[in-house]
Structure 1
């Protein structure tokens, strides 16, 4: 449900949806179990002899599963954060000049983002992006207009140059690099873009466009 990325960089939409599903499921299961088993105890965990008891048994197992899931997830969160503090914290940027390991990882992520922004800004050489108008709107809504992407590219070039030349980073640049270190959004969006382009080309080929 939660992991170190949620803790340090905000809870994702998918995680929020799962958490709300767990809350609603637990609440309604609890209410229904109280209503069905008010005189026989809260949970029904014995052999069912009629349809009502079968329903009560299934609901009791479901409720217990939700509780066990909650406990297990919290244990995993604790272990994940503990492991993060021991091992992965070395990836956080605290100084204004990066060490070699940080430099390699940050530059790799910068190259991915630069490539993505370059494609969607319309500045790529020999660009062959065959996207529909709706798809263009989706990516520009997600990342910004072509003009905005060009400005973002300038900032990326600046950070890249400072990292390569080992120039001290400013506070906002350090925050940007820390966020970039653990972000998977660019890679996922680039995969989606490549898939959309491939599907569009296939569509055009089939219909002779």
Structure 2
């Protein structure tokens, strides 16, 4: 995921996106300026650690505005109303929109991250272990929010998780990786019900 989001360089490989603007391009090979454009206009990212995705000393609404500005937003009123709408979508009370995320719980920080990631209307949203370290009740609320976004916005999501229960709830298709290589792929239900690779079997049976 770090490679897909251009946080880390690749040693080899090809990345293509089904998008008219990017047709036929290997995105790993494009210029740094082009990668910035893709991050700002095509991608949203929710990190496992909110510190990586948020400026903890900015207000929540300012965090969202930062992503909007990077995507070309200039009208303050429009950005404000869009930020308020997104905070409402992720159930952050609007009276706290000018509060800094460092004052929030882990679950609220993740919801602000999700609002920020959605602020540029990305066709692709990356979710990196978004429930790790959260209390079970908070995990359930975050997963419900992500499922609602899937239903309402129709965004393609790439979810990284070691929790197969999360994968079962969120992913239509699954890739199982071991030592940086894909060892099994297919429909999520198929992989979880009838795993072929010994490593996948070990993962699935550890839940039983």
Per the shorter chain, which TM-score range? Answer: under 0.3
Larger radius of gyration: 1
What's the TM-score, normalizing by structure 2? 0.26
What's the TM-score, normalizing by structure 1? 0.26
Structure number with the bigger relative contact order (C-alpha 8 A, sep ≥ 6) is 1
Question: Of Structure 1 and Structure 2, which has the larger fraction of its residues in strand?
Answer: 2
